[in-house]
A and B are shown apart, each in its own frame.
Chain A
Amino acid sequence: MLEAITDTFEVMRDAMPVLMKGLQMTVLITIISLLIALVIGLVFGLFSISKNKVLRAISTVYVNIIRGTPILVQILYIYIGIPAVTDLRFSAFAAGVIVISINAGAYLVEIFRAGINSIDKGQMEAGRTLGFSYGETMRIIILPQAIKRMLPAFVNQFIVSIKDTSLLSVIGIGELLMSGQSIYSANFKAFEILTLVGILYFIIIYTLTLFSRWLERRMDVS
């Protein structure tokens, strides 16, 4: 019995270096993708509240397509589908970043839109009345207030995207789950390795969840 437990720990300890590499990849892809997604979310979020019908339509179509299809399909589409009919080739890493970015971006569009709409109309009017342009009022007056309110939702999207990166294992990116798979296909200790993989995801995600809740509480106070 005791031997079985020490065995388990040994398996886990030996797996740690590779898993930590995988975890690094998971975090790296998530951070790069989220940064790109923030830009996408801001731009298409502004489209979605614009007076221009065409811009609004572009934003709606983008959001609906991404939210209306499974992310696994999107991954295969970018990595295998598009190269099958064009000369475009993506490395697995690039394909992963693209998919997570446009996927998180679509959800951030809604977060930006809701955040900006939550700011009282009088703020825009006050800014415009002073002589600021629409863009200046957005940048100086509306967005600083809106982004503060959006912070908990940003952190939640970060959590969702971290989980989504595990799907990138299907195109062979060495993120956390893929690293685990490569270990247990060699040592056949699937139970121990997957438990450890789960624990590593959990630690990161739960920490972020607590952070997000803390942010939400702080918002309520102010």
Chain B
Amino acid sequence: MIKIENLKKSFGKLEVLKDINVKVEPQEVVCVIGPSGSGKSTFLRCINRLEEPTGGAIFIEDTNITDPKNNINKMRQKLGMVFQQFNLFPHMTVLNNITAAPKRLKGISEEDANKIGMQLLEKVGLEDKAKVYPDNLSGGQKQRAAIARALAMEPNIMLFDEPTSALDPEMVGDVLEVMKDLAKEGMTMVIVTHEMGFAREVADRVIFMDGGYIVEEGDPEQIFDNPQHERTKAFLSKVL
């Protein structure tokens, strides 16, 4: 589904990703953990080319997305992304946030788009907020609306960059519930997270990143209960 080969990324002189090799299978849920500044966000943002990789290749269903000949806008439609800061469009109602892209990019009629939008809002528990503007939502509601917005393009893969880090603790659960539902439905997901409990429960595989490398990866039991590398142990002893 996703195949990343020798991915490198530098910002000027700063080499953030040094040599990343990852494969994600269809329907797999991969959680990425690691200390702050280790390159987790940069890694995720390279997958949909929000950051331009400086080396290596990224294949999404056998299409090389780093190839400039391929239409990045088309390819991004298949890759949903959820941000730490939600990034909802404040000048549109919640429903319009969700329907804007399918209407304009897929030519879906207003009526059908609204129907799909309402179904998605129901799915994330916000059906009563359709006509509300994002400023009037709580953080947890915003993030669930943002997930619904990403799902509206019917992506094959969902990327999450610390989706609960900006939330008050009591809001985290609702958002994680929605993500668990998605995992159960078989969505392929790559999730950067600090929620170790969630990673242990939902992930098929956990990737530990540090210093621009993947230091260790494996199923959650292996990583959390029996880490092999000193750096993994040191990191986990701090966060668990």
Contact = CB atoms under 8 A, between A and B. Distances in A.
Given A123-B87, A130-B101, A132-B105, 6 more contacts: A120-B87, A123-B89, A129-B79, A130-B77, A130-B105, A132-B104
B26 interface: no
Interface residues of A, number: 18
A125 interface: yes
Choose among A122, A123, A130 the residue with the greatest number of B CB atoms under 10 Å from its CB.
A130
A129 B105 contact: no
A141 to B, nearest CB: 6
Interface of A: 120, 122-123, 125-133, 136, 140-141, 144-145, 148
Nearest to A222: B135
Contacts, number: 55
8 contacts: A120-B85, A120-B87, A122-B87, A126-B81, A129-B79, A131-B76, A131-B105, A132-B101
Contact of A141 (B79, B89, B150): B89
A136 B80 CA distance: 18
Interface in B56-106: 73-74, 76-77, 79-81, 83, 85, 87-91, 100-101, 104-105
Nearest to B152: A130
B104 A128 contact: no
Interface residues of B, number: 23
Contacts of B50: 125, 128-129
Given A136-B104, A140-B104, A128 B76 contact: yes
Contacts of B89: 123, 126-127, 141, 145
Interface string B130-167: 00000000000000000001100100000000000000
A158 B90 CA distance: 28
Contacts of B193: none
Interface string B31-49: 0000000000000000010
Contacts of A148: 91
B167 to A, nearest CB: 16
A149 to B, nearest CB: 11
